[in-house]
């Protein structure tokens, strides 16, 4: 066997593996576009897992046709569907986006590079941009939307929140919190809940790269927007009283100086 073949074998043996998880419910048209962009990545994923959350349309068939692994999750809610996908993922890194997301062609490559550059980081979250709705409103509305989410969440978390349309985490980090997340509660935001649990033990960070293309859906339906806001508050209050901001910030300070323990609400 020549040297180049040996090098290729070593590269495959040490290559970081990637799983992409997409929860979906009745979004077959959007999922078709999302999966096409994932197929065209400069650095493809080792597996793409589509979790069908009891869709009434042909979302599962679309995923099968695209060569994705399809899981059925009849339990209602994005938290349950996302968690089922994370549980099934075999990659070293788990990347998550929504069915109506449109990632840039270098998304996976940029995520992998960001983890390599920050070995102490357990989870990353990235920027986003609106790809539909009035063109002139896209930039100011996405700025307002993401800024409101970030500052509301940071006041409760004491650190950066993860954004579900563009997040990634190390699989071993997920395995540490998989039994703690509120996967059975359909009325919470799974990304904010995940931020509570991962941020308790690990460093979360912002990554750069091309913004993820997302839909302006939050602003198209007043009732849906109200429901989204209500779920945001619930995502915070289900963690009370142990995660009231003063308690959480105290534990963070103790961890920073190496004094965290079971009595401080942190698993040692």
Q: Are 106 and 211 in contact (CB under 8 A)?
A: no
Beta bridge partners of 21: 49, 96
The verdict on whether omega for the bond into residue 81 sits within 30 degrees of 0, i.e. cis, is no
Encode pLDDT of 63-75 as tens digits: 999 999 999 999 9
Predicted pLDDT of residue 1: 52
**CA-based nearest residue to 182, from 194, 171, 174:** 194
Q: How far apart are CA 63 and CA 89, in angstroms?
A: 16
**Over the chain (268 residues), what is each successive 10-residue block's mean pLDDT?**
52 81 97 98 98 97 97 97 98 98 98 97 97 94 94 92 97 98 97 96 94 89 87 95 87 70 40
202 token code pair: 């690990």
210 token code pair: 């091309």
**Confidence (pTM):** 0.89
Q: Which residues contact 173 (CB under 8 A, 6 or more apart)?
A: 122, 123, 198, 201, 202
3-state percent breakdown (helix, strand, coil) of the chain, nearest 5: 50, 15, 35
Predicted pLDDT of residue 13: 52
């Amino acid at each position: 066997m020549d040297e180049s073949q040996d090098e290729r074998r070593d590269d495959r043996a040490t290559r970081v593996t990637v799983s992409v998880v997409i929860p979906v419910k009745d979004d077959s048209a959007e999922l078709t576009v999302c999966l096409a962009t994932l197929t065209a990545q400069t650095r493809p994923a080792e597996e793409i897992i589509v979790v069908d959350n009891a869709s009434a349309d042909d979302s599962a068939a679309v995923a099968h046709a695209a060569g994705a692994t399809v899981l059925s999750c009849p339990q209602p809610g994005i938290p349950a569907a996302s968690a089922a996908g994370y549980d099934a993922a075999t990659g070293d890194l788990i990347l998550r986006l929504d069915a109506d997301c449109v990632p840039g062609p270098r998304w996976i490559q940029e995520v992998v590079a960001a983890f390599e550059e920050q070995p102490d980081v357990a989870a990353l979250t990235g920027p986003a941009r609106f790809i539909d709705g009035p063109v002139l409103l896209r930039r100011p509305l996405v700025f307002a939307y993401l800024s409101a989410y970030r500052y509301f969440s940071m006041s409760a978390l004491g650190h950066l929140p993860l954004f579900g349309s563009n997040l990634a985490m190390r699989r071993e980090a997920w395995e540490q919190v998989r039994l703690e997340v509120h996967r059975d509660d359909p009325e919470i935001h799974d990304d904010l809940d995940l931020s509570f649990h991962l941020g308790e033990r690990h460093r979360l960070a912002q990554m750069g790269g091309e913004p993820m293309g997302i839909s302006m859906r939050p602003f198209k339906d007043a009732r849906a927007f109200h429901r989204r806001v209500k779920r945001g508050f619930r995502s915070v209050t289900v963690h009370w009283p142990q995660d009231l901001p003063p308690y959480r910030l105290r534990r963070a300070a103790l961890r920073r100086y190496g004094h965290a323990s079971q009595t401080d609400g942190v698993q040692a």
